A and B are shown apart, each in its own frame.
Chain A
Amino acid sequence: MAVDEALLRLSREGPAAVTLRLYAWARPTVSLGYFQTYDLTVNDEACRRLGVAVVRRPTGGKAVYHDREVTYALVGREDAGFFPPDVLGTYRAVGEGLVRALGLLGLGAEMAPEGRPERGGGRDASCFAVPSAFEILVRGRKVCGSAQVRSRGAFLQHGSLLLSFDARRTGEVLAAPAGRMGAGDLGEAAAGVNDLLPEPVSREEVCEAVRRAFAEVFGVVLEEGGLTREEEAMKEGLLAGKYLTEGWNRQGGGKRL
């Protein structure tokens, strides 16, 4: 989270490049959306018992259990020219890359239609309970959930591309509001690529497909790179001052109306 935010904060400086970052988590982690209420979202007892970490994202949206998946982050400036300056337009453009990536893996994916109503009144804590506009479906099941933050002409969109979906564990680590889907329904709503492919693929194969797909869809050559010194320093500051603090992870940023 700290790296993703540092990339966003520093994207205004330097060339108008777009960064694609693919990563996995050091240990299973629940990430909750910027505006989610901790106690209504996270089952603290289950997370402690199972050794699952919890972090609040800088992006909106709902909670994600990160374990058998690839997380992507895309950071860019609106003036870079690849992405439209609105929320849904960016989702659509990134979605085209993700659909192509899944195609390279042998899965026929599509984007969820715009404005699809949420079942169950949208009360579910889990991101994978319902597809939002332009999220990625294979045979009607969500394989990738994404979220976005925008600031000063730049955006960060990150998301979780599932290798396999564990509905039972997802249900266990998230809080259970009334009317929430059971593990069975949640298992029908989402799936990982290896739940759908006849032969399983590795995390690296998925990453390679994503890299190739984005290069093809946007007509660019990807250059591999690490964090700059500035990005590294900002990441450290954000870890100490934000993402490793209870205040941020439990309460979030400020006063909510």
Chain B
Amino acid sequence: MKVFPDDLLYSREHVWVRVEGDLATIGITDYAQERLGEILSIELPEVETEVERDEAFGVIESAKASIELISPVTGEVISVNEDLTDDIGIINSDPHDTGWMIVVEMKDQNELDDLLDARGYQEFIVNEMEAD
């Protein structure tokens, strides 16, 4: 069973959020990277792009599939993890930390209320696996 950090929030689209003031750092969860397998390439928005909650902010390519990344929050992208250019493998090896993808300046922090804490996310994926 995977352990999900307590200091993150999680979406049902398997995206995590680290909140610092009105900034949200966003990446995909360890469960998501494992389900996708080896990640081959990624497309992310440019800095100053607006992202919208429940809309795609990027696309990731793993073994023969492209997967849309769904933003849990609305706001402006203020930073993109350029380290992924050199080593995209860190999304697989360190998804909750150095494998982060973008930082968004949030417009409405109330959107965070819909996200799950580590325990809630854990329960969510157990249910998802049982539904298979």
Contact = CB atoms under 8 A, between A and B. Distances in A.
Do these two chains interact? yes
Given A85-B35, A86-B35, A88-B63, A255 B70 contact: no
Contact of A147 (B42, B64, B80): B64
A253 interface: yes
A15 B63 CA distance: 29
B66 A58 contact: yes
A87 B35 contact: yes
Contact of A34 (B45, B59, B88, B128): B59
Contacts of B65: 59-61, 87, 147-150
A228 interface: no
Contact of B70 (A132, A149, A152, A256): A152
B16 to A, nearest CB: 17
Contacts of B131: 79, 81, 85
A255 B41 CA distance: 11
B12 to A, nearest CB: 8
Contacts of A60: 61-62, 64-66
Contacts of B35: 85-87
A240 interface: no
B123 interface: no
Interface string A119-136: 000000000000011000
A202 interface: no
B103 to A, nearest CB: 15
Contacts of B40: 35
A149 B37 CA distance: 14
Closest 6 CB pairs of A and B: A148-B65, A151-B68, A60-B66, A87-B65, A34-B66, A35-B61
Interface of B: 13, 35-37, 40-46, 54, 56, 58-59, 61-68, 70, 80, 82, 84-85, 88, 128, 131-132
Interface of A: 33-35, 58-61, 79, 81, 84-89, 91, 132-133, 146-153, 252-257
Given A33-B66, A34-B66, A59-B65, 5 more contacts: A35-B40, A35-B66, A85-B132, A152-B68, A255-B43
5 contacts: A34-B59, A60-B65, A60-B66, A85-B128, A148-B64
